[in-house]
Amino acid sequence: MTSLRSRILHRTLKRVAGNLALNLPLQIQRTRMDELARRGIRIPKEVTVRTVQASGVHAEWIEPAGMDPNRTILYLHGGGYCICSLDTHRGLAARLALAARAQLLIIDYRLAPEHPFPAALEDALAAYHWLLSQGIPERQIAVGGDSAGGGLTLATAISLREGTKALPAALFLLSPWTDLTFSGESIHTKREVDPIFGGDGNRLGFAPAYLGINDPTNPLISPLFADLHELPPTLIQVGSDEILLDDSVRLEEKLKAAQISTRLVVWQGMWHVFQVFAPYVPEAQQAIFQVGDFICEHIP
């Protein structure tokens, strides 16, 4: 059973989500999201944040007290490849680092439409190779992200598999956006209950900006259509009340068919990237602890 706090927030989000409508100019959307995050999502006191350039990619090291220096996370934020930033996701990243007792690198990858595919993927790969150049072996790295960052996490792993073969120890995906063709049934069946995207056909309108002239079935854009063999163990978390539910359900089926160690956790009554609300909703913090346990399991 979901907590009272989550039920109240679910109703509140459904009521106010229209205030972030995607028909606003993009720069206003970006500014509004950054301001909301700075006001509402505090950074835990137990972490230190340092700015760094990772092979030319602006990034931050998030270092929790008592971290294990032999455990590293590369985090790729969501936002439809068009909005969100270090400001919007610093709080979530800090709580993930604390849960895993790991140092975490969160990157400010280039956004569309100014920088469409493959710019975000190029930046993610550059940051990953920068970690390796700092002497951090791939067996000590977990890569994860939320929403578009979840899809980007998969695209990064697929690219590494086809290139250097230096795959990370584990992947974790929070409400991943894996299908930019929007072919999942939950796009329609969850519309009435989804408090973030439901009832508004424009809520996922960022896809054309990221695609540019590219085919949405490109496996590095929509990893659901990729060959998923030889990928690292993967944890997927998704809310039962989001239109992207089937992006996770179908991904789990494909990963298991490729004989990848996979765990899908559907959090009942939860919404898209509910983990961001860990300061307010107990289920969100529980989910973050689950990610931390998963990372510690694969990077002992």
Cα–Cα distance, 141 to 128 (Å, whole number): 9
Does residue 37 register a pLDDT over 70?
A: yes
- Quote the DSSP letter at residue 139: G
Q: Which tens digits make up the pLDDT trace of 162-192?
A: 997 899 999 999 999 999 999 999 999 999 9
Angle between helices 86-100 and 26-40 (to 10 degrees): 40
Average pLDDT over every residue of 236-257? 98
The span from the CA of 94 to the CA of 108, in Å, is 15
Is CATH 3.40.50.1820 the right assignment for the domain spanning 4-298?
yes
What average pLDDT score do residues 81-106 get? 97
Tokens 């929509």 -> residue: 222
Whole-number Å distance between alpha carbons of 45 and 65:
9
Confidence band, pLDDT 50/70/90 cuts, at residue 78: very high
Catalytic residue annotation: 147, 242
Q: Give the pLDDT score at 114.
A: 97
Q: Across the chain, where does the E strand assignment appear?
A: 47-54, 57-64, 68-76, 102-107, 141-146, 170-174, 234-239, 262-267
Q: Scanning the structure block, which residue is given the tokens 């400010």?
A: 108
- Determine contact, residues 51/87, Cβ cutoff 8 Å: no
Contacts of 293 (CB under 8 A, 6+ apart): 99
pLDDT in tens, 99-153: 999 999 999 999 999 999 999 999 999 999 999 999 999 999 999 999 999 999 9
Q: Is 196 helix (H, G, I), strand (E, B) or coil?
A: coil
